[in-house]
Amino acid sequence: MKYLLTISYDGRSYCGYQKQKNGVSVQEKLTDAASALFGDGTKITGCSRTDSGVHAVAFKATLESENAKIKPEKLPSALNAHLPPDISVRDASESDADFHPRYSVKEKEYRYIICNSSTRDPFSEGRAYFFPKKLDAEIMNEAAQSLVGKHDFRAFMASGSKIEDTVREVYSCTVTREGDNITVSVRGNGFLYNMVRIIVGTLIAVSDGKIAKDDIAKIIESKDRKNAGPTAPAEGLYLYDVKY
């Protein structure tokens, strides 16, 4: 049987989704929980890697096991009984045999939360980027519109990445404020390594007066990482939704 799982996790305690030699991964915790239920040979495949400290509201993964004959609606509670409190399976459904959680992705949405308060908010600790200097969400939102469309986003990729095809389509990019929290939401068909965090760092630099609002298009054209803003820290980033 093959199931599609929707998983939320607080990434603070993990080296990321993907199994790694150093550090505990979300994948490892999921595999342990699934193996406890269905024995060895249970396979978990995720929709994406996420960096250390990055969170997920609706990460997607498949669970495959010959021994798994449980009804999908019973699976979340069964797995959660074997998972730590910072990882939770929120939903499960049956999945086609040829479905791949990574290669079948049509759209992903990331959200980035900036705690833009003059003083620290204890409830945002590790779950938002604390930026005390006042930001202008409207100007950030205007600048963000230049990112929408099909572009070569090489300037917004971590330097050293070895991916050759750096063309991606951004469907929407919006910046909104609610109280002290600024949310950057980016939807697209795929993202380069650190792309969302570099977008956020660049939009902050726009509000901060370090990059001109109208220069975003030029930065994209330059294909040079040095022209974009800094990479915003991992703690504000959430994989928010994945569509197939």
Tell me which stretch binds a copy of itself (CB under 8 A): 59-67, 123-131, 152-160, 224-232. Answer: 123-131
Interface characters, 26-65, with a copy of itself (x: CB under 8 A): -----------------------------x----------
Q: By CB under 8 A, is residue 4 in contact with a copy of itself?
A: no
Please say which residue, 156 or 238, places its beta carbon nearer to a copy of itself: 238
Please say which residue, 44 or 83, places its beta carbon nearer to a copy of itself: 83
CB 219 within 8 A of CB 202: yes
Task: Look up residue 159 and give its amino acid.
Answer: S
Return all residues near 51 (Cβ < 8 A) that are at least 6 apart.
16, 194, 234, 237
- Using CB under 8 A, pick the residue from 2, 127, 213, 223 that binds a copy of itself: 127
32 is catalytic: no
Q: How far apart are CA 24 and CA 26, in angstroms?
A: 7
Tell me which stretch binds a copy of itself (CB under 8 A): 41-49, 117-125, 152-160, 204-212. Answer: 117-125
**Sign of the dihedral through C-alpha 194, 234, 35, 61:** negative
Interface characters, 68-87, with a copy of itself (x: CB under 8 A): --------xx--x----xxx
- Using CB under 8 A, pick the residue from 122, 163, 179, 226 that binds a copy of itself: 122
Residues 87-106 that bind a copy of itself (CB under 8 A): 87-91
Catalytic annotation, pick one of 10, 32, 40, 51: 51
**Where in the sequence numbering do the catalytic residues fall?**
51
Give the interface with a copy of itself as residue ranges (CB under 8 A): 8-10, 55, 76-77, 80, 85-91, 117-123, 125-127
